[in-house]
Amino acid sequence: MLVLRLLNVVAPAYFLCISLVTFVLQIFLFIPSMFRDPSTTPLFSPALLHGALFLFLSANALGNYVLVIQSSPEDLGKDLNLGKGAEVADWLDGSRSPGSALPSTHFCRLCARVTQRHDHHCFFTGNCIGSRNMRNFIMFCLYTSLACLDSLVAGMAYISATLSMSFADPLAFLTLLPHSISQFFSGALLSSEMFVILMLYLWLGIGLACAGFCCHQMLLILRGQTRYQVRKGMVVRARPWRENLREVFGKKWLLGLLIPVLNVESNYRRQKEK
């Protein structure tokens, strides 16, 4: 438990550090290198368009990251009926009396909070993912993967221009790291260039991981399930996939795709059933 609590503190700091390094490299290295002649740069140049795209992706990723943290499940625990004589400690083993709470309600040991429609505990946000912040969490994963893949493309363009190499061959990227390590220790490669190459593989890994996690989460949502329900083997009543999507994303789902907003319609199904 001590290791998990330590990871709950280190992981968010690691994510913020990676985000800061990515922002600095994009703004002060990659984007300026795209300007061949600033005095003759047109208004809608590729460099300006790339900079606007990166800022849009970064703002949405960080904005939804903050909303995931702010949408704490602790507030939900105050409104839940744990049953007569029940204490929060009774939820440590996941047990509950029949009808004492909504399905999939879970008490997290790390957060010490009760989460409605608990999905999992995210160490990178230091928070549990449930009904209130599920949409923001998915948007966070989506825009983080897009921002990482955008940085990967910009970094490859920078390395291609700096080292005068081509990535037309698919094997060029796979052999880039071992060749760069040998050149770095032989003194033929600068430390800054080696750092960018290492960041390329880090962006690739984070981007693919977030994209895969987002796709898996969307499949669970379409089926009306959570990771907690799958792990516990809970039976879920079959519902139309449109209703499952509306429960998570709400009616104004398009607004959440463009700007980071709170999921104010998270109680859609409960209001409908009433």
pLDDT in tens, 55-93: 999 999 999 999 998 876 654 445 444 444 444 444 444
**Model pLDDT, residue 75:** 46
Verify whether residue 111 is a known catalytic residue: no
Q: Are strands 113-115 and 106-108 parallel, antiparallel or unpaired?
A: antiparallel
Q: Which of 80 and 262 is assigned the larger pLDDT?
A: 262
Query: For 262, left (φ over 0), alpha (ψ -120 to 50), or beta?
Result: beta
Within 10 angstroms of residue 259's Cβ, the number of other Cβ atoms is 12
**Model pLDDT, residue 265:** 52
Out of 17, 108, 111, 122, pick the active-site residue: 122
Complete DSSP assignment for 194-238 = HHHHHHHHHHHHHHHHHHHHHHHHHHHHHTT--HHHHHHT-----
Q: 272: pLDDT confidence band, cut at 50, 70 and 90?
A: very low
Per mean pLDDT, which range of 34-43, 89-98, 115-124 is the poorest?
89-98
pLDDT in tens, 5-47: 888 889 999 999 999 999 999 999 998 888 765 555 565 677 8
pLDDT in tens, 203-221: 999 999 999 999 999 999 9
Confidence check: pLDDT of 101 > 90: no
Looking at mean pLDDT, say which of 101-110, 121-130, 136-145 comes out highest: 136-145
